[in-house]
Amino acid sequence: MSENETTMETAILDGKALSQQIKQEIAAEVAEWVAQGHRKPHLAAVLVGNDGASRTYVDHKVKSCAQVGFTSTLIERPADITQAELLDIVHGLNADDGIDGFIVQLPLPRHIDDQAIIEAVDPKKDVDGFHPSNMGNLALGLPGFVPATPAGIMTMLERAGIETEGRHAVVIGRSSIVGTPMSLLLSRSGNPGNCTVTLCHSRTRNLAEECRRADILVAAVGRPEMIKADMVKEGAVVIDVGITRVEDPTAKRGYRLKGDVDYNDVAPKCSWITPVPGGVGPMTIVSLLRNTLAAAQRGASS
Ligand code: NAD
């Protein structure tokens, strides 16, 4: 190798390890909160129907509550619940002083209007950060609940000490729960933040070309392994949000979880990369716990 040549070292953004560390920090804060005479923070989750992935997510959330010393309540209803019945549950949770925050796990069955449910949640208990008033606060840079997945990614960048200021971030996917809030957070003034952001979506022309301009690439699409090495700049930070169950008869559960990034192809080119699983997913849950603790603390002081 000549003197000027360097080898690219890829570091893994280990969301699993970081989430365990942050859970310990939250548990310590909860213990202190309870020692001051407050009740434990209480998160409720509403799960409608029998979608396997949704059940797995909710189970993880409930388990994580126990790990940090929260109380949790799981409300399960069959897929044929009416919208009016679901709205009644939401109104009940809004009015329940014993609940600090709650989530209604998405997606909901087709006959239910997701947006009507989201808008019925009291913004003060909206720990998913999906209510228009929380989204509006995010867009304006005002305090409020930030959706858990983008918030978890920001924590990852911060804890890894990744410089974002002035860098070009490309976010693929414009959903209201991941891509759009992610693009807002990265462009906001702050650290991490202060990026120049390009938001790509299904109608973007020359996606590969846009991606190659990214110092920080966030893929939130849900198309397994769509990001290949020739779409990534040498030394980029690559954050893979995608989680898709891909059938695999050799796997214990009959499927494997695949990200949007072809990890083996892309990783050698990156400075940092998140694995799937064990990257963004665990950080999402940690952000939900943080939001719930904040809701409990705000509720107690109001
Ligand atoms: P979504 O279906 O709501 O949005 C997908 C986005 O991808 C859309 O904005 C669409 O315009 C864009 N898109 C579709 N095809 C495209 C293409 N060919 N090129 C460029 N853009 C394209 O999905 P979502 O809810 O934002 O979730 C995205 C992925 O992230 C899914 O795999 C989901 O399971 C996963 N997810 C993971 C977590 C986590 O905690 N890790 C949390 C939420 C979502």
Q: From the candidates 23, 100, 105, 233, which is the catalytic residue?
A: 105
Task: Look at the chain and report how many structural domains it folds into.
Answer: 2
- Alpha-carbon distances, residue 292 vs 18, 69, 148, 175, 283 (angstroms): 19, 12, 11, 23, 14
266 and 173 in a common domain = yes
Residue 19 lies in a domain: no
Single-letter amino acid, residue 163? E
Strands of the 272-273 sheet, one edge to the other: 11-12, 272-273, 237-240, 216-219, 168-172, 196-200
Q: Supply the residue whose CA is at minimum distance from atom 15 of ligand 1.
A: 202
User: Quick one: which atom of ligand 1 is closest to the CA of 174?
Assistant: 9
Structural domain including 84 reads 37-126
Residue 176 lies in a domain: yes
Residue 12 lies in a domain: no
Residue 141 lies in a domain: no
Annotation marks residue 97 as catalytic: no
Hunting for tokens 């720990």 — which residue is that? Answer: 127
Averaged over 26-53, what is the pLDDT?
Answer: 97
CATH number, domain with residue 80: 3.40.50.10860
Distance in Å, CA 222 to ligand 1 centroid: 5
* Exposure class string for 78-103: b at 16+ Cβ within 10 A, else e: eeebeeeebeebbeebbeeeebbbbb
Annotation marks residue 105 as catalytic: yes
More confident residue, 289 or 5: 289
215 and 249 in a common domain = yes
277 and 153 in a common domain = yes
237 and 121 in a common domain = no
Residue 244 clears pLDDT 90, i.e. is over it: yes
Annotation marks residue 61 as catalytic: yes
Q: And the tokens for 83?
A: 């919208």
Distance in Å, CA 288 to ligand 1 centroid: 19
pLDDT in tens, 92-140: 999 999 999 999 999 999 999 999 999 999 999 999 999 999 999 999 9
Residue 1 clears pLDDT 80, i.e. is over it: no
